Structure 1
């Protein structure tokens, strides 16, 4: 079996820390499975170095809050010289919860799974539907 994938959430302000703490509280995930990093106070080079250092040497996924901006740019630059690293943009809590339970999957399979999970967790409703908010969402 290959080495489990490490996840690094990189975001603006304190979003990453909040998401990682939520995953740990809900799932009891091991501390090294998922890490948090803020771009606060970092220029492009410093952020890229922080991402590299926080990710470590093994296989990893960098989760970013948005598909553009300093967090995503730093993550994408990192993948240029690391074959065992992927970037997933638009991170959400259901995606991260799925990650901690399936991080032993091969990286390409894991990335596809997480993107699908993240997208399926996004729902919406109008006022007339919201009146039945206590019912489970129709699948």
Structure 2
């Protein structure tokens, strides 16, 4: 179990995605300690898996958020979850998804389902002004 004052989840993604989104959510929520960022940059699948495992083990976290459903970070997370069924994965993460998780204090399946739903609900197409296209 993750320490209540330390990271509760790993965010893994391509290049600087994880560090950028974790930084943004930490600033917005005022809770920078909730997540630990892992990048796949320069790593093969085994390296990504090792990096995520190291972050999970170092902090006791059991939740992994990833950027792309079929990306290397998700593939590595799925490998880890097959070996350890206590690991949960949420993929296609958005700022809204992570904000919902950060502002809560749970790591249960319903907590993760709610955070994922909030992320999906926040994706909106804003119509061009007057319906005539962009100015």
TM-score by length of 2: 0.84
CA separation in 2, counterparts of 1:17 and 1:27?
A: 15
1:104 aligned residue: 106
What residue ranges of structure 2 are gaps of 5+ in the alignment? none
Deviation track 1:51-78 (CA, whole Å, cap 9, x = no partner) reads: 0111226342111111002111001111
- Counting only pairs closer than 5 Å after superposition, residues 56-135 of structure 1 correspond to structure 2 as 56=57, 58-105=60-107, 107-128=108-129
Q: Secondary structure at the match of 1:80?
A: helix
Residue of structure 2 aligned with 1:11, choices 13, 29, 32? 13
- Give the Å deviation of 1:83: 2.3
Q: Distance in 2 between matches of 1:129 and 1:79?
A: 48
Structure with the larger helix share: 2
1:18-57 CA distance string (max 9 Å, x none) = 10111111111142x2110110010111110110111226
Aligned counterpart, 1:47: 48
Closer/same/farther in 2, CA of residues 55 and 130 from structure 1, 3 Å limit: farther
Partner Cα separation in structure 1 for residue 91 and residue 123 of structure 2: 14
Cα RMSD of the aligned pairs, angstroms, is: 2.1
Contact 1:39 1:70 in 2 (8 A): yes
Q: Quick one: distance in 1 between partners of 2:48 and 2:76?
A: 6
Q: Which runs of 4+ in 1 moved over 6 A?
A: none
Aligned with 1:67: secondary structure?
A: coil
1:135 aligned partner = none
